[in-house]
């Protein structure tokens, strides 16, 4: 199975060389790596060009000029969509990756093995680890059955059926929920430790904190599930006051009648699925 990787990048001179180095040393090499340089003002492009010289058949880049404000969701996925225009459409697996990661050498060999083991597996991923006091620890912001948005690998048929990635915060949750809606399996492998070199959300401004609540609304959660999900996430981040910001974001989105990311039928499925998962954890 051939896999192709799209990497949105904005001012990543400190990390992108480490990311690319880990990718070109994979036990099974990607067919193509497309880096979308989004309005970088540092040496990101120079580093990309250095890797292109050594790997011209694998690495390519495209430069775009999007808005300067860095908010989660829409900006990165719009960049990803530009990268989609550059890839070979005959891929078996498409990967969205961040530019601040170090993958273990066998990461994609293992990912491919999972896809080959079951044709109903639609998504596969490992787990993010961050460095604290010289030790690499699990970045425990999500449940163990969720694949982080920093490294998403999709089977082509699944990716097409869910409609690709949606340019909005919550894209890396709605993709998995739609996988389940269409009866695809989502697989996480605890053996695959991806080093995440920059803490999640480090570059986001204060306005982004309301986006999480908006995302819960657009996923069709409703208030009760949003209340529980907001409290859980705020506590995991060890910032309890974020709970209030998330709820404010939810009510602001609801009062503005912002469109959902899913259909009415999909929203019903998502609510039922979320309640089921919550009951399983409680009982």
* Domain-embedded: residue 228: yes
Residues 123-144 have pLDDT tens digits of 999 999 999 999 999 987 777 8
One domain, residues 178 and 76: yes
Q: What percent of the chain has pLDDT over 90?
A: 80
Q: Give the dihedral sign, CA 8/63/169/6.
A: negative
One domain, residues 134 and 187: yes
One domain, residues 45 and 89: yes
* Domain-embedded: residue 201: no
pLDDT of residue 233: 87
Q: pTM for the full model?
A: 0.90
One domain, residues 230 and 269: yes
* Domain-embedded: residue 63: yes
One domain, residues 19 and 80: yes
Tokens of 67: 């808005």
Residue 131: enclosing H or E segment and its boundaries? strand 121-132
One domain, residues 162 and 30: yes
Q: Which residues, at least 6 apart from 49, have a Cβ–Cβ distance to it below 8 Å?
A: 61
Q: Does 189 score more than 70 pLDDT?
A: yes
Distance CA 102, CA 120 (A): 28
Taking residues 33-46, report their average pLDDT: 96
Domain that includes residue 85, residue range: 3-196
Q: How confident is the model at residue 201 (pLDDT cuts 50, 70, 90)?
A: low
Top-confidence residue, 161 or 202: 161
Q: What percent of the chain has pLDDT over 70?
A: 94
pLDDT of residue 70: 56
One domain, residues 100 and 225: no
One domain, residues 17 and 144: yes
One domain, residues 133 and 266: no
One domain, residues 68 and 174: yes
Name which of 28, 23, 47, 29 is nearest 37 in CA terms: 47
pLDDT of residue 140: 79
pLDDT of residue 281: 76
Query: What is the domain count for the chain?
Result: 2
One domain, residues 233 and 159: no
Top-confidence residue, 266 or 202: 266
pLDDT of residue 207: 64
Query: Which of 143, 178, 196 marks a domain boundary?
Result: 196
Burial bucket for residue 36 (CB in 10 Å: 0-12, 13-18, 19+):
buried
Residues 203-249 have pLDDT tens digits of 445 667 788 899 999 999 999 999 999 998 889 888 899 999 999 99
């Amino acid at each position: 199975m051939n896999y192709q990787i799209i990497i949105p990048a904005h001012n990543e001179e400190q990390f992108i060389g480490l990311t690319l180095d880990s990718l070109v040393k994979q036990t099974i090499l990607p067919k193509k790596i497309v880096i979308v340089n989004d309005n970088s003002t540092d040496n990101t492009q120079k580093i990309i060009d250095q890797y292109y010289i050594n790997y011209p058949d694998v690495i390519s880049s495209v430069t775009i000029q999007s808005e300067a404000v860095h908010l989660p969701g829409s900006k990165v996925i719009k960049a990803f969509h530009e990268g989609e225009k550059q890839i070979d459409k005959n891929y078996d697996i498409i990967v969205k990756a961040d530019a601040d990661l170090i993958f273990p050498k066998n990461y994609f060999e293992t990912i491919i093995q999972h896809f080959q083991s079951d044709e109903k597996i639609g998504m596969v991923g490992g787990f993010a680890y961050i460095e604290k006091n010289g030790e690499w620890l699990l970045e425990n912001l999500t449940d163990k059955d969720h694949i982080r948005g920093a490294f998403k690998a999709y089977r082509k048929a699944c990716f097409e059926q869910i409609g690709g990635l949606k340019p909005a915060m919550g894209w890396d949750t709605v993709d998995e929920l739609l996988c389940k809606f269409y009866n695809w399996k989502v697989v996480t492998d605890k053996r695959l430790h991806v080093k995440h070199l920059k803490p999640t959300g480090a570059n986001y401004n204060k306005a982004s904190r309301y986006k999480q609540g908006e995302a819960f609304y657009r996923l069709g959660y409703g208030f009760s599930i949003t209340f529980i999900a907001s409290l859980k996430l705020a506590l995991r981040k060890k910032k309890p006051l974020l709970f209030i910001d998330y709820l404010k974001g939810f009510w602001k989105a609801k009062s503005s009648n912002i469109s959902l990311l899913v259909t009415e039928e999909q929203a019903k499925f998502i609510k039922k699925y979320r309640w089921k998962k919550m009951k399983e954890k409680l009982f």
